[in-house]
Amino acid sequence: MRFLDEVEITCISGQGGSGMVSFRREPFVPRGGPDGGDGGRGGSVVLVACHRLNTLQHLRGRRVYSAKRGGGGGTKGMTGACGDDRVVEVPVGTVVFDLESGTQIADLDVDGARTVVCRGGRGGRGNSHFKSSTNRTPRKSEPGGESLELRVRLELKLLADVGLLGFPNAGKSTLISRISNARPKVADYPFTTLVPNLGVVSVGSEASFVVADIPGLVTGASEGVGLGIQFLKHVERCSFLLHLVSVMEIGEALEDPLERYTALCGELQSFSAELAARHQIVVLTKVDLLGEEELGELMDSFEAVLGHRPLVLSSVTGRGVPELVQACGTRLQAMLEEQEGLDDELSE
């Protein structure tokens, strides 16, 4: 399936129904008076987050979404029918922006969350509302409220606990296929991952977390080089990042793993200072390709920068996989306890 994480659509609400000018015409009821009913409310355009959807692909073929107009008022004070709302389902994690102003309208980050993008026009009042002691036969009614039209940009940001970060061919897809049931494309050349992948990882018998594998980033990604900003935004929602650094050259201009790590941290800083400050677990991958002495020297160089030794991983041999999963589970549990502590303080 093609992954589409951004789309522009036009939303048009329904016009309200017009009020009715009518007078009672019944036997034995002389001068029955006005009985024109009100018009019905126009339908609204509503966006609803749905867990069954993973992309915005279903919106690609149709860019205009219109709601029904309200029915006109009737005789005997009958109100016109309300127009049906136009409900548009989007994936959980969709952010809605006003295309013209760029302001954020809503963030549909929970299944079932909904937002009214364009509210339908109100129904016009019938002539029965305009009768008075001095105007017993009003021949006046109101037209229905105008419809609204708004162009919006829908942007999907994946919801995951852990985001995999690294240069192309750093072993992200291999890792997610090893620790979860996700089956992304794995090959020995860069940019095998072209769309984000999500996998659910079990920690013990009860706990689990969601990990997101995004396409590899390159130098200049924060400025749009490679797949760039298009996928950097997907790690903005992640609780923390797994920064995977291959111990071997992967065809990049930066041969030294520590230089690649520093360069990618710089790209994060350029894209978002908040994202750069997010907690990272640094993992050296493909360690089966190095001798123990060379690996020890590389870990020492990373320790001098990080202040602690990085984790080591070989998805092929399985070395370090249980330790990595456990480290992620421990970190998420600690973050959950910290959040609960903050909530308790605020409630007091």
pLDDT recorded at residue 342: 65
3-state helix/strand/coil string of 80-125? CCCCCCEEEEEECCEEEEECCCCCEEEEECCCCCEEEEECCCCCCC
Q: Where are the beta strands (DSSP E) in the chain?
A: 6-12, 45-50, 64-66, 86-91, 94-98, 104-108, 114-118, 149-156, 162-165, 197-203, 207-213, 240-246, 280-285, 311-312
Q: Which helix (H) or strand (E) holds 307?
A: none
Q: Are 46 and 88 in contact (CB under 8 A)?
A: yes
pTM (predicted TM-score): 0.65
Q: From the centroid of its chain, how far is CA 14?
A: 27
pLDDT recorded at residue 344: 63
Axis-axis angle for helices 321-347, 172-179 (nearest 10): 80
pLDDT recorded at residue 228: 46
Domain 162-347: CATH superfamily is: P-loop containing nucleotide triphosphate hydrolases (3.40.50.300)
Alpha helices in 156-283 (DSSP H): 172-179, 228-232, 257-271, 273-276
User: Residues 105, 91, 115, 339: is their CA dihedral positive or negative?
Assistant: negative
Strand order in the sheet with 94-98: 64-66, 6-12, 149-156, 94-98, 104-108
Strand pairing report for 240-246 and 162-165: parallel
Contacts of 307 (CB under 8 A, 6+ apart): none
Exposed / middle / buried, residue 24 (Cβ in 10 Å: 0-12, 13-18, 19+) = middle
Q: Give me the residue label for tokens 């019944």.
A: 26
Per-residue pLDDT of the chain (348 residues; tens, 9 = 90+): 345 578 899 999 999 999 999 998 888 777 778 999 999 999 999 999 998 887 788 887 788 999 999 999 999 889 999 999 999 999 888 999 999 998 999 999 888 999 999 999 999 999 999 998 888 889 999 999 999 999 999 988 777 788 888 887 788 888 888 888 766 555 444 444 456 677 778 887 667 788 877 766 655 544 544 454 555 676 777 888 889 988 876 544 457 888 888 888 888 888 788 888 888 999 999 898 888 898 999 999 999 999 999 999 998 888 999 999 888 888 888 887 877 776 566 665
Q: Are 257 and 284 in contact (CB under 8 A)?
A: yes
pLDDT recorded at residue 347: 63
What single-letter amino acid sits at 77? G
pLDDT recorded at residue 190: 46
pLDDT recorded at residue 206: 66
User: Residues 253, 256, 259, 261: is their CA dihedral positive or negative?
Assistant: positive
CA distances (Å), origin 142, targets 20, 261, 275:
8, 67, 53
pLDDT recorded at residue 304: 92
Q: Are 38 and 92 in contact (CB under 8 A)?
A: no
Q: Where are the CATH 3.40.50.300 domain residues in the chain?
A: 162-347
Backbone angles phi, psi at 130, to 5 degrees: -105, 10
Quote the tokens at residue 319.
């070395």
Domain 1-156: CATH superfamily is: GTP1/OBG domain (2.70.210.12)
The 10 Å Cβ neighbour count of residue 269 is 13
Residue among 241, 238, 237, 195 at smallest CA distance from 216? 195
How far apart are alpha carbons 104 and 275 in whole angstroms? 19
Q: Where are the CATH 2.70.210.12 domain residues in the chain?
A: 1-156
Count Cα neighbours of 203 within 13 Å in the Cβ-side half-sphere. Answer: 16
